[in-house]
Amino acid sequence: MQKIIWGVLFISGLIAQDEFFEPGYSIGGYGELHYNNSQSGKDASTTILDFHRFIIYYGYAFSEEWSFKSEVELEHNFVKEGEGELELEQAFVNYHTNHFGFQAGVILPSVGIINEYHEPPLFLSVERPEYSKYVIPTTWFGNGVAVYGNIAGINLRFVLLEDLNGDGIGKGIRGGRKKGYKSTAYDMVKNISVNYSGIKGLRIGGSLTINNAPTSDYFTTDDKGNKIVNEADTASVGILLMEINAKYDANNIYAVLEYGQISYENNPLGYETSGGYYMDLGYNLGSVLGLKGKLMPWVRMSDYNRGNDDPGQHYTIKRFGITYWPISNVAFKLEYGTHKKESDEDSKTQINIGFGYSF
């Protein structure tokens, strides 16, 4: 009899949990203001003040497992005559349990550290790392589906995404993003990632991404005017992106390392590879100085090549900066850096100041 009573109480508890759930919406966003002052190079004495990004998140929870998530982004304050951008960066239905999930809609592939999570307080520099722009084309999004899960601190995710545009691939794959606009699914981008986060403050992982990106020559017409697939090798551009990444943020230490390499077949510019790395190292002096929040001086070293060993596409970057978070959702940033192209005699130097927020 006692077992029956306990069983009834247990089932009643589960029912009560469902009854107590109330569907509801959530709202959030982020933004960042940048001041860029070029000290030398072809842009010497150029000063730019730009509210680079303004983003609004909107989500709705249908149940404890089912929800909808979205993100709309406005870049550079307005959109007019080819300037500025207005983008639907995320819009997907999400099914989630403790160990398994599914997404469908406009999603982000898991490539690198900041493609999925790129709010300004999450990285040190004023601008996103050049590596994240020219090697991993952050932010990369498109129409697709994803499944994900975790076991003992190991997180796995598999993504099927719209094709890249083969005609836009050249110095990297950034120009091949279709961003959900008139996208195709002839081959589809396949992205698989794994990362481990079982140690406090540490995240280490990597990903593999492949696609045969159709070009404008992907289709031909027969004698009757019917559209048919062109079987020629040059009808698509093959890409294979492999990357590894690691981040440690604990005990006042901040350290990041990302390395990526892309291989191409039939690249329109003839390049066979591109890739590079960046490293960040910072230390929080806030607790040492008795400050509220975090105050972190930091240094970055980076090297990337946008095409083979072409000196005109090879860049070396050094940055030194200090970032202050009065609270975790707000960051003020100051940095000085040099940007050296191998084919140029002199480095470009720049002072950047910025602030960013997220909520």
Locate the domains of the chain by residue range.
Answer: 23-358
Which pLDDT belongs to residue 232? 65
Mind listing the pLDDT tens digit for each residue in 327-347? 999 999 999 999 999 999 888
Of 338, 336, 268, nearest in space to 41 by CA: 338
80 pLDDT tier (thresholds 50, 70, 90): confident
15 pLDDT tier (thresholds 50, 70, 90): very low
DSSP state of 96: E
How many CA atoms lie within 13 Å of 165's alpha carbon, on the beta-carbon side?
A: 15
Q: Is 279:256 a contact under the CB 8 Å cutoff?
A: yes
CA angle 352, 358, 359 (to 5 degrees): 165
If you write DSSP's letter for every residue of 164-199 in order, what string do you get?
P-GGG-BSBSGGG--TTSS---SS-EEEEEEEE--S
Q: Is 268:280 a contact under the CB 8 Å cutoff?
A: no
Element (H, E) at 133: helix 130-134
54 Ramachandran zone, left/alpha/beta (phi>0; psi -120 to 50): beta
Looking at per-residue pLDDT, the higher value among 220 and 53 belongs to: 53
Residue 8, pLDDT above cutoff 50: no
From the candidate CATH numbers 1.10.3720.10, 2.40.160.10, 3.40.630.30, 3.40.50.300, the one assigned to the domain spanning 23-358: 2.40.160.10
Which pLDDT belongs to residue 171? 94
pTM of the model: 0.88
186 pLDDT tier (thresholds 50, 70, 90): very high
Percent of the chain having pLDDT more than 70?
A: 89
Q: Is 245:267 a contact under the CB 8 Å cutoff?
A: no
As a whole number, the mean pLDDT across the chain is 91
Which pLDDT belongs to residue 23? 85
Percent of the chain having pLDDT more than 90?
A: 80
187 pLDDT tier (thresholds 50, 70, 90): very high
User: Is 2 in a helix, a strand, or coil?
Assistant: helix
Rg (CA), the chain: 23
Alpha-carbon distance 51 to 49, whole Å?
7
Which pLDDT belongs to residue 230? 72
Q: Is 102:66 a contact under the CB 8 Å cutoff?
A: no
How many CA atoms lie within 13 Å of 202's alpha carbon, on the beta-carbon side?
A: 8
Residue 282, pLDDT above cutoff 80: yes
272 Ramachandran zone, left/alpha/beta (phi>0; psi -120 to 50): alpha
Interacting residues of 215 by C-beta distance below 8 A, sequence separation 6+: 166, 167, 234, 235, 236, 237, 268
Residue 4, pLDDT above cutoff 70: no
